[in-house]
Every structure is written in structure tokens, then in C-alpha cells.
Amino acid sequence: MIRRRFHLVNVFADAPLSGSALCVFEDGSGLSEEEMQGLALQFNPSETTFLFPSKIASAKVRIFTPTFEMPFAGHPTLGSAHVVFAHLVSAHPVSPHSGSSPGERGVTLSPASSG
């Protein structure tokens, strides 16, 4: 069994254990589509995302519900951007990029303005 780092995130939450639950895997590299779908079903939040390296963004994001892969969704993209910003890269706000195939989206972070 390969170990994978993941984060359980509450998107649009103003208190713990509220908002829209999301599971974000830091690195989906090496996982098959069937394995990603199985993990999404096992964790069973509304959506589970998997982050991948990207040449055009800070990360590429694939989004799965417990039963299918989604081409795009708002709260999984924002929650994934939070994980990228908080845990994977230094300071960088969110700009989604279309991926090279359906179901792949990238997230680029850039420094927030101080004004």
C-alpha cells in the first residue's frame, strides 16, 4: 500500500465541522482513474480532489465525486487552492486554468495585494 498525504477541508465554513466537506490528496501521481474513484468513494465527501504537477499552474486538479469525475466545480477548486497555498507552495490568489484533458483543472496562486 502506498501512503498518500491528504487534507480534510471545510470550504465556505465559518466554524469547525461546517461548510462543504472536501478531501484533497496532495499528490495523485501514479494513481489510476479507478484508484482515484475508489478513494473518492471510500472517503465519501461530496467531492475529493487529487493534485498533480503542472507546467501552466501551481497545481493541476482532478475532481471526483463518489461515483464520477467532474470537469469543474467551485468549492473543490477553492479548497484545493487553499491546500496548495497553505501546504505546498510559498505565498502565491486563485486563477483556474483548463487542463489538457477533460476533468483536469489547474490552480495558480499569486501574492495577495496588501491594500
Catalytic residues: 47
Q: How far apart are the first and last CA of the chain?
A: 47
- Residue 113 burial (CB < 10 Å; 0-12/13-18/19+)? exposed
* Secondary structure (3-state) at 27: coil
CA distance 89 to 83: 9
Task: Show the cell assigned to 101.
Answer: 484533458
Task: Show the cell assigned to 55.
Answer: 507546467
